[in-house]
């Protein structure tokens, strides 16, 4: 979908931390589009990524249309960095209403023998422990805020086998962790939900020579027959973070053109069709 052209101040007066919100150059990654859409809808955004230059590019884009944001460099797999990120966000914005854990990374070989101990730990740390660290650091401030919303960006690999022995299980654990947060903190007003992207055209695909030839097949396998992108993820994240979703918690929202809802043979037939 193209960048939305109309905005409704759905996050007016709120503050948000979005991790993994930087990207090289002009790339429109999931995290960058989430940060930009939140700012368009009135939020003040703390843009977090390990590379400050990439975060500053996102901030420049936001400031270019009059939004408010600042860059914060940090590694969410390190608890001390998460505590510092939270402290900086509260120091700048005086509060925290929304946390979006978008950091994720898919890597590791197709066989168990290809995944050594260090790679396994990194897969789990990036895709699961980072969200744990950020939630632990942020929840005390979220309890004082008005929004009290957490949105974790997962993947359909966490619900259906994709042949990813590390990435899929780590995302499945993130889904379970999110539901536990929703249960444990629900009585205190915190909502925790999951956005689960599927076969989207993002910079990760555009810059991967193994994936770009598969674009047409990835499009066809979805019942809708259309190709999604990072703006679709941002729109779903915005909804779950907004007051409009006040009764939703523990929800997993697939953003995948329906791929996760169909059987294998049906999907195969779609690929063979128009």
Instruction: Give the span between the Cα atoms of 41 and 11, in whole angstroms.
Output: 5
Quick count: other Cβ atoms within 10 Å of Cβ 99?
30
| 147 inside domain | yes
Q: Residue 215 falls within a domain, yes or no? A: no
Active site residue 167: yes
Q: Looking at the domain assignment, is residue 218 inside a domain? A: no
Phi-psi region of 174 (alpha: psi -120 to 50; beta: other; left: phi over 0): alpha
Catalytic residue among 8, 167, 185, 201: 167
- How many structural domains compose the chain? 1
**So what's the pLDDT on residue 246?**
97
CB-based contacts of 39, cutoff 8 Å, min separation 6: 45, 62, 65, 67, 68, 69
Three-class DSSP category at 146: coil
Nearest of 99, 218, 220, 215 to residue 148 by alpha carbon: 99
Q: Could you tell me the mean pLDDT of each successive run of 10 residues in the chain, 274 residues long?
A: 89 97 93 98 98 97 98 98 98 97 83 91 96 98 96 94 90 98 98 96 80 84 93 98 98 95 84 77
pLDDT of residue 204: 76
d(CA 17, CA 150): 10
| Domain-embedded: residue 210 | no
Q: From CA 146, how far away is CA 15, in angstroms rounded?
A: 9
How far is it between the farthest Cα atoms of the chain? 55
State the residue range of the domain holding 64. Answer: 15-201+229-259
- Whole-Å CA distances, 25 to 32, 92, 116, 196, 228: 11, 26, 32, 25, 21
Instruction: Identify whether 3 is part of a domain.
Output: no
Give, rounded to a whole angstrom, the gap between the first and last alpha carbons of the chain.
20
What sign for the dihedral angle of Cα 151, 56, 52, 104? Answer: positive
State the CATH number of the domain containing residue 68: 3.40.50.720
**pTM for the full predicted model:** 0.94
């Amino acid at each position: 979908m193209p960048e939305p052209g109309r905005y409704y101040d759905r996050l007016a007066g709120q503050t948000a931390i979005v991790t993994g919100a930087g990207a090289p150059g002009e790339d429109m990654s999931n995290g960058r589009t989430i940060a930009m859409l939140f700012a368009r809808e009135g939020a003040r955004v703390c843009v977090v990524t390990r590379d400050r230059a990439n975060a500053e590019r996102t901030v420049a884009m936001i400031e270019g249309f009059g939004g408010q944001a600042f860059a914060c460099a940090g590694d969410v797999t390190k608890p001390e960095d998460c505590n510092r990120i939270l402290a900086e966000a509260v120091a700048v914005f005086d509060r925290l209403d929304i946390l979006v854990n978008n950091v994720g990374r898919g890597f590791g070989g197709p066989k168990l023998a290809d995944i050594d101990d260090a790679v396994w730990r990194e897969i789990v740390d990036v895709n699961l422990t980072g969200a744990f660290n950020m939630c632990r650091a942020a929840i005390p401030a979220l309890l004082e805020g008005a929004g009290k919303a957490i949105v974790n960006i997962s993947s359909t690999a966490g619900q259906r086998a994709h042949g990813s022995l590390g990435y899929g299980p780590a995302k499945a654990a993130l889904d379970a962790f999110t539901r536990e947060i929703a249960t444990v903190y629900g009585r205190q007003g915190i909502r925790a939900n999951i956005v689960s992207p599927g076969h989207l055209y993002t910079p990760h695909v555009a810059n991967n020579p193994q994936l770009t030839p598969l674009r047409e097949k990835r499009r066809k396998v979805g019942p809708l027959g259309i190709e999604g992108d990072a703006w679709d993820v941002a729109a779903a994240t915005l909804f779950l973070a907004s007051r409009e979703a006040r009764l939703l918690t523990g929800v997993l929202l697939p953003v995948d053109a329906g791929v996760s809802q169909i059987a294998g043979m049906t999907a195969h037939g779609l690929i063979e069709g128009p």
